[in-house]
C-alpha cells in the first residue's frame, strides 16, 4: 500500500521534480495547484516508484494522479502492489492512461471525467481574436477600450492591498446572489488568492491589473506551468464595466503572455455556464482526465 503523509512546504522540491517529469503539465497538478487550496482541500502525498500520488480529503475524497514520467513506470507492478480490485484512481491524465500496457488496460475501466478536463488555447488566438469565431469577443473588447479611460499595469507587490480590496468587493457582489455552498467556495478561493500573493516570490507568477480612473476593475494572476504554457489561476472583473472580462483576458496575454504558445484556463467543474464560457473562446485542445477503476 502507498505510504501517505500530509502535504507540507518541504515537499515542494521533490513534488516539482515529479511534476516536471510529466510529459504533459496539467494546471491541477502544479505545486501551487495543491498548496493554494491546502486549507479547504487537505491533501496527502505518497512518493513511490519515482511517482507521486495525491490523496484528497476534499469534496471528492480519494487518490488521484500520479505525477512523474508515465512512460517509464512499470504499471503492472505499481498498480498490483498499491491497489486492489474495485479501487478507483481519480483525474488520471489521458497520457498517463495511454502509457498503460494493453494487457493491463483490459483489466481496467476508464471513464471520462469530463468536468475535470482542462481547456487549452493558443495565446496568439486570444491576443488577435481574428476570425468570425471571435467576433463577439472583439466587440466586447472594443466596447471596453473605447468606452472607458483605462490603464493596464503588470501586477507588483505594492498592488496587493488594492487587489485584495477589489477581491472583497467582487466577492461581496456575488455573495448576494449565491447559495450557501457557492459562498463557501468563494471564500475558499479567497484563501487561495491570498496564498498566491503571500508566496508570490516562491512561484512563477505573473499578474495584470486593469484600472479605470485609477480604480481596479479587473485583474489576472497566472502561473507558468512550463516554458510554453501559462495557466490563468485567477481572473476577476466587475461586470458593470462592459467588456472588462474580455479586455483583461486579451490585455494580460498581449502585455505579458505573448512569449508563450499556450494558455490553460483550467476545468469547468461541470457547470453549464462556465463550460459555455470556456468553449466560447474556442480551445485548441483539451487535457483529458479519466476515472480509472481496477476490475481485477
Identify whether the C-beta of residue 272 lies closer than 8 Å to the C-beta of residue 238.
no
pLDDT interval class at 237 (50, 70, 90) = very high
SS3 state at 112:
strand
pLDDT interval class at 127 (50, 70, 90) = very high
Give the global pTM. Answer: 0.95
Closest to 266 (Cα-Cα) out of 230, 216, 290: 230
pLDDT interval class at 250 (50, 70, 90) = very high
H and E: helices and strands count for the chain: 11, 14
Backbone angle region of 87, left / alpha / beta, with phi > 0 → left and psi within -120 to 50 → alpha: beta
pLDDT of the residue at 179:
76
> What are the structural domain ranges in the chain?
5-117+289-294, 118-266
Backbone angle region of 291, left / alpha / beta, with phi > 0 → left and psi within -120 to 50 → alpha: beta
Query: 77-96: per-residue pLDDT in tens?
Result: 999 999 999 999 999 999 99
Question: Whose grid coordinates read 487550496?
Answer: 37
pLDDT of the residue at 206:
98
Q: Does the domain formed by 5-117+289-294 have CATH 3.40.630.30?
A: yes
Return the CATH class of domain 118-266: alpha beta
- Same fold? 5-117+289-294, 118-266: yes
Q: Find the mean pLDDT for residues 28-38.
A: 97
SS3 state at 104:
helix
- Is the pLDDT at 27 greater than 90? The verdict is yes
Amino acid at each position: 500500500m502507498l505510504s501517505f503523509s500530509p502535504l507540507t512546504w518541504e515537499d515542494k522540491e521533490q513534488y516539482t521534480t515529479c511534476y516536471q517529469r510529466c510529459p504533459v503539465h496539467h494546471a491541477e497538478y502544479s505545486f501551487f495547484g495543491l498548496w493554494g487550496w491546502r486549507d479547504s482541500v487537505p491533501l496527502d502525498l505518497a512518493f513511490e516508484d519515482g511517482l507521486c500520488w495525491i490523496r484528497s480529503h476534499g469534496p471528492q475524497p480519494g487518490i488521484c494522479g500520479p505525477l512523474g514520467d508515465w512512460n517509464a513506470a512499470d504499471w503492472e507492478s505499481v498498480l498490483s502492489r498499491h491497489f486492489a480490485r474495485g479501487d478507483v484512481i481519480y483525474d488520471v491524465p489521458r497520457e498517463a492512461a495511454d502509457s498503460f500496457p494493453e494487457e493491463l488496460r483490459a483489466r481496467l475501466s476508464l471513464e471520462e471525467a469530463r468536468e475535470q478536463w482542462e481547456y487549452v488555447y493558443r495565446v496568439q488566438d486570444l491576443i488577435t481574436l481574428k476570425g468570425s469565431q471571435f467576433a463577439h469577443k472583439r466587440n466586447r473588447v472594443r466596447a471596453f477600450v473605447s468606452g472607458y479611460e483605462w490603464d493596464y499595469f503588470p501586477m507588483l507587490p505594492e498592488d496587493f492591498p488594492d487587489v485584495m480590496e477589489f477581491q472583497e468587493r467582487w466577492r461581496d457582489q456575488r455573495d448576494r446572489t449565491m447559495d450557501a455552498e457557492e459562498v463557501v467556495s468563494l471564500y475558499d478561493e479567497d484563501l487561495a488568492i491570498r496564498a498566491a500573493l503571500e508566496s508570490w516570490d516562491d512561484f512563477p507568477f505573473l499578474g495584470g491589473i486593469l484600472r479605470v480612473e485609477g480604480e481596479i476593475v479587473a485583474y489576472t494572476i497566472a502561473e507558468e506551468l512550463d516554458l510554453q504554457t501559462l495557466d490563468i489561476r485567477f481572473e476577476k472583473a466587475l461586470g458593470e464595466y462592459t467588456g472588462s472580462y474580455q479586455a483583461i483576458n486579451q490585455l494580460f496575454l498581449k502585455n505579458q503572455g505573448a512569449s508563450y504558445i499556450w494558455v490553460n484556463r483550467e476545468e469547468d467543474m461541470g457547470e453549464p455556464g462556465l463550460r459555455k464560457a470556456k468553449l466560447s473562446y474556442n480551445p485548441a485542445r483539451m487535457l483529458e482526465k479519466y476515472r480509472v477503476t481496477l476490475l481485477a
